[in-house]
């Protein structure tokens, strides 16, 4: 079987774990080129040289190359809709860095065009592929905790002001929001994947004195899931020096706590289970301080989805569920 040929669009902060993962998948995947929008030539050349990738002259050139099967889009959220439109027109499958777009309206249009054109759309929610999360999912889906009573997320991360000093970061126009859409979206995806949709909530978003930014850096919310279970979310990038996120599920038979990569399960019959995944999650001042292993597994799944003509494990509709909740929990002053 020939290698799947992928073009990378974007060479910024999120690109490194993808590059490391793709090089480990080179028996199955060939990076045809890397190109970018708004990235300086010097930065692009440094990234390409570091990882041994050819440089393309522009995203449009990559999308017009009939030898390329798919594109990996790693550009800011505000650019996603236009790039996916071009990819769909060129019949290229798409693996898209989260979030889908800067608003639910634009995200819905993006997902719909891929569905209508039968282009496969995968979303970079790599945390689903972490070993501890997979073990947690197996426990939850097997019903080992019993009927769910409560589920919640505590994400107390840290980002220094220098992180938000990058032009556009933490703005509605470029990123679509703050801590929920950029950081907590991963934990919220796990929460909704395993606990189901949220029926109602009360939320309190805020921009604290810790950061000069447009969008929120703190959100606290109480939830009620469609199953009737209660829950909560606390998310911030203002908790110095940063702490591993905690995701908790409480059922009639026991409790599961995922603290970073450390999973503990306590059953009411006296049994206990423990699993340690040592990979960090980028909760401190260095956002990319984590292993690329989960990215590798996600990329491998995406390539297999193309070859097997099936949906990727994480679809556009999965991401849309989370984005709709986030936009409702932390509404922007004006729709973008």
Same domain, 82 and 51: yes
CATH number at residue 254: 3.30.360.10
d(CA 120, CA 213): 35
Give 210-261 as a DSSP string.
T---SS-SEEEEEEEETTS-EEEEEEESBSTT----EEEEEESSEEEEEETT
d(CA 259, CA 257): 6
- Residue 289: pLDDT band (50, 70, 90) is confident
CATH number at residue 36: 3.40.50.720
Same domain, 192 and 281: yes
- Residue 239: pLDDT band (50, 70, 90) is very high
Token representation of residue 286: 């260095």
pLDDT of 280 reads 64
Mean pLDDT of the chain: 95
Mean of the pLDDT values across residues 163-190? 97
d(CA 198, CA 255): 20
pLDDT of 335 reads 39
**Could you give the number of structural domains in the chain?**
2
Map tokens 């309206």 to a residue.
105
Same domain, 155 and 231: yes
Same domain, 78 and 152: no
Least confident range of 42-46, 77-81, 167-171, 226-230 = 42-46
Same domain, 140 and 258: yes
pLDDT in tens, 93-141: 999 999 999 999 999 999 999 999 999 999 999 999 999 999 999 999 9
Tell me the percentage of the chain whose pLDDT exceeds 90: 90
- Residue 336 predicted with pLDDT over 50: no
pLDDT in tens, 14-73: 999 999 999 999 999 999 999 998 767 888 999 999 999 999 989 999 999 999 999 999
Same domain, 28 and 177: no
d(CA 329, CA 235): 12
pLDDT of 298 reads 98
Bridge-partner residues for 201, per DSSP?
223
Q: Is residue 332 included in any domain, yes or no?
A: no
Same domain, 115 and 198: no
Same domain, 170 and 218: yes
What's the whole-model pTM score? 0.95
Q: Look up the domain containing 198 and give its range.
A: 128-286
Same domain, 138 and 244: yes
Q: Is residue 328 included in any domain, yes or no?
A: no
Mean of the pLDDT values across residues 193-211? 97
Q: Is residue 335 included in any domain, yes or no?
A: no
199 CB-near residues (< 8 Å, 6+ apart) = 224, 225, 226
What are the strands, taking DSSP E only, across the chain?
Answer: 4-9, 29-35, 70-73, 93-97, 121-124, 148-156, 198-206, 218-225, 230-236, 246-251, 254-259, 262-267, 272-276
Same domain, 116 and 134: no
Same domain, 120 and 152: no
């Amino acid at each position: 079987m020939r290698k799947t040929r992928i073009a990378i669009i974007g060479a910024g902060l999120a690109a490194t774990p993808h590059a490391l993962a793709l090089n480990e998948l080179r028996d199955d995947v060939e990076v045809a080129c890397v190109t970018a929008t708004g990235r300086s030539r010097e930065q692009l050349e440094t990234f390409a040289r570091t990882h041994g990738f050819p440089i393309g002259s522009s995203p449009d050139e990559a999308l017009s190359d009939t030898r390329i099967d798919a594109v990996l889009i790693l550009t800011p959220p505000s650019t996603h809709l236009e790039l996916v439109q071009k990819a769909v027109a060129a019949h290229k499958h798409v693996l898209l860095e989260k979030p889908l777009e800067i608003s639910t309206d634009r995200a819905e249009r993006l997902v719909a065009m891929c569905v209508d054109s039968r282009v496969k759309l995968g979303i970079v929610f790599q945390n689903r592929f972490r070993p501890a999360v997979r073990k947690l999912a197996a426990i939850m889906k097997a019903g080992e905790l019993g009927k769910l009573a409560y589920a919640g997320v505590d994400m107390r991360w840290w980002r220094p002001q220098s992180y938000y000093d990058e032009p556009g970061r933490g703005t509605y126009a470029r990123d679509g929001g703050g801590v929920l859409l950029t950081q907590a979206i991963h934990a919220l995806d796990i929460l909704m994947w395993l606990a189901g949709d949220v029926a109602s909530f009360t939320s309190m978003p805020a921009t604290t004195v810790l950061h000069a930014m447009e969008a929120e850096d703190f959100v606290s919310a109480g939830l009620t899931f469609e199953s009737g279970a209660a829950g909560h979310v606390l998310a911030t990038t203002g908790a110095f020096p940063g702490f591993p996120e905690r995701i908790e599920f409480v059922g009639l038979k026991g409790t599961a706590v995922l603290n970073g990569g450390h999973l503990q399960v306590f059953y009411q019959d006296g049994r206990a289970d423990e699993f340690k995944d040592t990979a960090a999650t980028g909760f401190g001042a260095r956002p990319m301080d984590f292993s690329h292993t989960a990215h590798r597994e996600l990329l491998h799944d995406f390539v297999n989805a193309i070859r097997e003509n099936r949906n990727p494990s994480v679809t556009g509709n999965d991401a849309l569920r989370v984005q709709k909740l986030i936009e409702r929990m932390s509404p922007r002053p004006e729709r973008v």
